[in-house]
Chain A
Amino acid sequence: MPGWGKKLVALGLFFALCTPLFAEKLIDTLFLNQGKIEMVDGVQMPYFSFNSTSVFSKENTRLLVDVGDSLELLIVNTDSVDHAFQVKGLTASTSISANDSVWVNVELTETGAFIYYDPSAGEKYRYMGAAGMIVVRNPNQQTSDFYWNMKDHQSVYNVSLSEGQNVDWSQYYPDYFTINGRSNPDINADPAARVAGKVGDTLHIYMVNTGQSIHSIHFHGYHAKIMYSSKFPDHVGRNKDTFPIYGMEVVALELVPHQPGEYPVHDHNLVAVSAGNIYPNGMFLTLLIE
């Protein structure tokens, strides 16, 4: 074997030994729970959520991993009917019988955000809340990260679907709009959603829209660069103050604030800045930059 061949073998062995130090196999459990979400005005509606325990929480568990990691997920169905689990673009749909569980392996080879959800029953459980996000980060990046899981609901549709009735999606008109299960003014109380930092910081905002509607998100005070867009990959690199995020799609932004202040971020479909038809209780929060 020539000298350079030996060097290559040695290099290969080095990386093979080092790989486990960097890429990890993570094991986690998600419980699919049924419950009720209470909206900002006190209205309650049937809801489903993937949580880290068998106790229902309106907020789907966020899975944060480093690029190159793999996830072994145990999905536990606590419901008395069959459900399913899928990571959009990464895994096929896996059925889960009532009160049963399955293992799902997810390989995460690129940075970005991915939607996991329940695709069963025409995605009615996904619409009723059962959808969360996996964020795949570059461990070497020094950024402050924020996470928005955006949803919309027409309260009577949640009730009808939970009672086994059909709904007419061509007449869909949502009356609640949430980020991480909250509406204005409660979104600002969620440190994962409320964007906070200092002038010059690099802030990354990972957004998934797991609802039905298209949301047109407007930033006051700043333009942000699109880092990742599952719907429009050719929009990456654009500096925007307003951009759409479609249902079941992902957008990741990089914001480097140039000025201090408190500025709103909201859906510029201004009907979505409401809850139960009351303005301004919808998809509205503020950025706080020191």
Chain B
Amino acid sequence: MKKYFPFIFTLISCFTTILAQEENFFLIARNKGEKILTTGDTIRTFGFARKLSEQPGVPGPTLVVKEGDSVHIDLLNMSQGAPHTIHLHGLDVDQQNDGVPHLSFEIPHMEHGFYHFKAPHPGTYLYHCHVASTIHVQAGMYGLIIVKPSDGSNKTWDGGESFVNEHSYFLSEIDTVWHRDSVLLHPYDTSHVMNHIQIPHFDPQFFLINGLSDQQLLDSNVVFESSMGQQDFVRLANIGFCGVRVIFPQQLKARIVSSDGRPFETEESSDTIYVYPGERYGVLTKSSVEFSDQIRFEYLDLNTNQLKNTQVIPVSVQGQLGLPNFDQEEITAQLVPNPFYGNTDLHLSLREGRELTFKIYDLQGRLVEEHEERFFTVGQHEVALGKSLRESGIYTLQIISAGNVIQLEKLLRLE
């Protein structure tokens, strides 16, 4: 038997080598990004792009690697301003690769910096600039790093549970005051160990999931779609300055199984998860029933614990055979006008007659208007909505058929 040991050892080594790869990423740090907000306004951002012709996005590109991979990041600073770095948040890299300017190195304009690490435990991690980090993170210089199991499979970790689809929700906020040139283009003296930089009062107006908010989020078709009995994995990560209370529909039977790239010894079954700045969580979901609802993201002020905003991701769990229980083309809905003063009309077009209910919620999730269920025949209909809305602001309309939310629309009431 002993004579086979070298062969087996070599085989295992070769197999491990095949699975673990060299992963090279090239990123460009830019400070002339533009971001269009849900109001249509454009703000200046900093960010990371993969090539010169690409706008730096908020968030930056998601870097996906496998456990054991040797990862190399080449960061080119083309910002004509302050230096930049990459902090590999949660990856426990050595000091040289940690991305903190006065303890590692910083990358001036038109220079490259190189970061190296071996991908550790499967999980969700972050990268962000650590130069004047309060400003550069708010400016948009952040992204996700996902470490998959060593075989790249859809498992929580090597030997962990399997899942079909994964969904990443990356949480942050935008205060447009911080995106003015007077704030973004802060003074920076590279001869100083630490630069002292004035920061404005933080009072965000936009609350983001994957860089989008409100109507942008609904228009983007970011939907949690699954099937009865199907297990999925949700990655939650918060790079903002608020806490976020994430509330899953009870039917998803959420199980919190990991955080910060480490599995829990004892998983926690809970529909509600608090994700604080810098934290990441891994959540397994599986529904035994067909339903439609939404995942709520409640942004909390860390100084007062007050609710500042709510964003939602629609949830649709389909029948066991993976067939939709509702054909979305059977109904089209449009609010005219929207934004509106006083009230608005919902223009409906139905290819099949059906019972419909309409519910309007405010951003705190309170039901503010409800229209009792009634039958709508095939064809065109108009329904007056919004008479109960007393205050200007953003509201969510749920169109409900047979107990399921089949469509969501955002309403913007003006004063």
Interfacial residues, chain A to chain B (CB-CB below 8 A): 152, 169-174, 185, 212-216, 218, 220-223, 234, 237-244, 258-264, 267-271, 273-274, 277-281, 286
Contacts and interface: CB of A to CB of B under 8 A. Distances in A.
Contact of B304 (A170, A222, A244): A170
B98 A220 contact: yes
Interface in B107-130: none
19 contacts: A171-B304, A214-B243, A214-B303, A216-B243, A216-B278, A221-B98, A223-B260, A223-B262, A244-B279, A261-B95, A263-B98, A263-B100, A264-B100, A264-B103, A268-B278, A270-B137, A273-B133, A277-B200, A279-B134
B303 A172 contact: yes
- Please classify how large the interface on chain B is, using the bins under 10, 10 to 19, 20 to 34, 35 or more: 35 or more
Contact of B196 (A212, A216, A279): A279
B199 interface: yes
Task: Say whether chain B's binding surface is mostly helix, strand, loop, or mixed.
Answer: loop
Nearest to A222: B92
Contacts of A216: 243, 276-279, 302
B198 interface: yes
Nearest to A220: B98
Interface string B292-325: 0000000000111110000000000000000000
Interface stretch (B18-26, B67-75, B264-272): B264-272
B326 interface: no
Given A220-B87, A277-B198, A278-B197, A239 B92 contact: no
B194 A280 contact: yes
Interface of B: 87, 89-90, 92-95, 98, 100, 103, 132-135, 137-138, 194, 196-202, 241, 243, 259-262, 264-266, 268, 274, 276-280, 302-306
Nearest to B243: A214
Contact of A242 (B266, B268, B278, B303): B278
B92 A279 contact: no
B199 A173 contact: no
B95 A221 contact: yes
Contacts of B134: 270-271, 273-274, 279-280
B103 A170 contact: no
A277 B103 contact: no
Contacts of A152: 303
A106 B262 CA distance: 38
Q: Rank and list the top 7 A-B pairs by shortest CB-CB distance, nearest first.
A: A268-B278, A261-B95, A242-B278, A216-B276, A270-B134, A268-B277, A239-B262
Contacts of B241: 269-271
B278 A277 contact: no
Contact of B262 (A173, A220, A240, A274): A240
B59 to A, nearest CB: 16
Nearest to B300: A214
A281 B196 CA distance: 8
Contacts of A242: 90, 260, 276-280
Contacts of B198: 277-279
